[in-house]
Amino acid sequence: MKEMMSLHVTMNRMHDEGAAALAGIDLNLLVAFDALARERSVTRAAERTGVTQSAMSHTLRRLRGLFDDALLTRGQGGMLLTPRAESLVGPVRAVMIACARLVAEPAEFDPATARRRFRIGSPTDLVDALIVPPLMIALEQRAPSMDLAVASCRMSNVQQALETGEIDVAMVPRSSSPAFPSMADTGLRQRVLFQDGFSCFLRAGHPALAKRRLTLAAYAKLSHMLVSPRAEGPGIVDLALASRGKTRRVALRVPTFGVAPQIVSRTDLVLTAPTAFRHLVDGRVREVKCPLPLKPHSVALVWHERFADDPAHRFFREFIEEVAPLVIT
């Protein structure tokens, strides 16, 4: 650990010293050096860079002072590069190319040929299960070389993960009182992908389905399954029931939706879940109207503003917006 801390301190010191050294250098001198090295003539180097001969002569004097070397000397066939100058030619041109690429206009983005890996974060696996499959199918047609990585993240960590680039976008469930922090002064942007309500899911043949409809009284008496990453605490159903003076028994609590279809189809537990959950179940599970009025919720796409104008990032966001509504049709 001490060795790692020492290395970190050393790297920081080197970075600071390098930045301090560059602060005192006119980087235009490197452009002049490149012209002088190419032309081996002050006159032609001046013409190449669009300055006067006297200005280039003055720049050569500054270069000699900077590198403490003559750089160019007279020879029988004209000006000759000193060994020090010869050693500088490659590195200086590499720096100039890197700088040119840094400020150049980004290449036009073509999704059909682009190779890029995007990271999606979500605090619930239901969103992943619903959106990622149709997204991958569509990407195979439009952007076959794009790769995806899906990461689970807590609501409290979404903002930091987006800021640092740990994830590119997040798909966040939002209710009328969202746990997600306010967007004000965070640098985050969002767009609603779709809105959804809630339904009840029971196994086919469940005794409660014998009635014409599921009443609130009967609903409250059933044994329930709750999907929640927390091992305790009320869910939105419990809070809504409490406001009506009722309670329910949560017989099973699981952290993800992945196991929910199998459990519901093989037990007498009732699951209250987003209506879009219907896309994850088969004929062994029935959907009925929830007798408890619950406020609808939405799923928002969230990203950091520093990626807003990146062509590939913009394509990916727009593509998700195009595909996501299909999960509730």
* CA pair distance 287, 275, nearest whole angstrom: 8
Question: Dihedrals φ, ψ of 290, to 5°?
Answer: -75, 125
**Assigned fold of 198-295:** D-Maltodextrin-Binding Protein; domain 2 (3.40.190)
β-pairing verdict for 249-254 and 223-227: parallel
Residue position matching structure tokens 């050693």:
87
* CA pair distance 158, 127, nearest whole angstrom: 15
**Confidence check: pLDDT of 240 > 80:** yes
Question: Dihedrals φ, ψ of 239, to 5°?
Answer: -65, -40
The neighbour count for residue 239, using CB atoms within 10 Å, is 10
pLDDT tens, position by position, 11-23: 345 345 445 555 5
> Domain locations in the chain?
21-103, 116-193+298-308, 198-295
Question: Dihedrals φ, ψ of 182, to 5°?
Answer: -60, 145
**Confidence check: pLDDT of 177 > 60:** no
* CA pair distance 128, 122, nearest whole angstrom: 7
**Residues 282-303, buried b or exposed e (16+ Cβ, 10 A)?**
eeebbebebebebeebebbbbb
**Superfamily assignment of 116-193+298-308 in CATH?**
Periplasmic binding protein-like II (3.40.190.10)
pLDDT tens, position by position, 86-125: 998 888 888 877 777 677 666 678 888 888 899 999 888 8
pLDDT tier for residue 161 given thresholds of 50, 70 and 90? confident
Domain range 21-103, its CATH number among 1.10.10.10, 2.40.50.100, 1.25.40.10, 3.40.50.620: 1.10.10.10
Structure tokens at 131: 């959106």
Residue position matching structure tokens 């995007």:
118
Do the domains at 21-103 and 198-295 have one common CATH topology?
Answer: no
pLDDT tier for residue 1 given thresholds of 50, 70 and 90? very low
β-pairing verdict for 188-196 and 297-304: antiparallel
> If you average pLDDT over residues 2-17, what whole number do you get?
44
